[in-house]
């Protein structure tokens, strides 16, 4: 790929991402109120994302509880604890990933 193609791809991706993230602020500014279903979705989505990530993490454990199961279960416990504590999806994902990477060599 040429450098111009790569730069154009990155630029289009960045503009699209920015536009999608800015759209709710532009649409629902001032006196206009968000619909109730969209407000409920915004409150429900972080928990749903965490549940999907936890299920995805635990799907491969199988019979290897010592090598894979224990580090993953400890990481899941840290994710649940940190999310209940701070209600921050990003903090929970980062802390769970870091804990898993630290526990992996121990088991």
pLDDT in tens, 25-60: 888 887 778 888 988 988 898 888 878 878 888 888
What average pLDDT is seen over the chain? 88
Same domain, yes or no: 47 and 94? yes
Structure tokens at 24: 């709710």
Same domain, yes or no: 13 and 40? no
Structure tokens at 72: 């993953």
Reported pTM: 0.57
User: Structural domain of residue 24, as residue ranges?
Assistant: 1-33
Same domain, yes or no: 21 and 46? no
Number of domains observed in the structure of the chain: 2
């Amino acid at each position: 790929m040429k450098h111009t193609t790569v730069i154009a791809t990155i630029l289009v991706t960045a503009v699209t991402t920015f536009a999608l993230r800015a759209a709710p602020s532009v649409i629902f500014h001032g006196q206009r109120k968000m619909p109730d279903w969209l407000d409920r979705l915004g409150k429900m989505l972080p928990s749903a994302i965490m549940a999907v990530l936890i299920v995805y993490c635990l799907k491969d454990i199988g019979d290897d509880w010592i090598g894979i199961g224990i580090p993953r279960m400890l990481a899941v416990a840290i994710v649940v604890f940190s999310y209940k504590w701070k209600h921050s999806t990003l903090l929970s994902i980062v802390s769970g990933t870091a804990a898993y990477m630290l526990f992996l060599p121990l088991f």
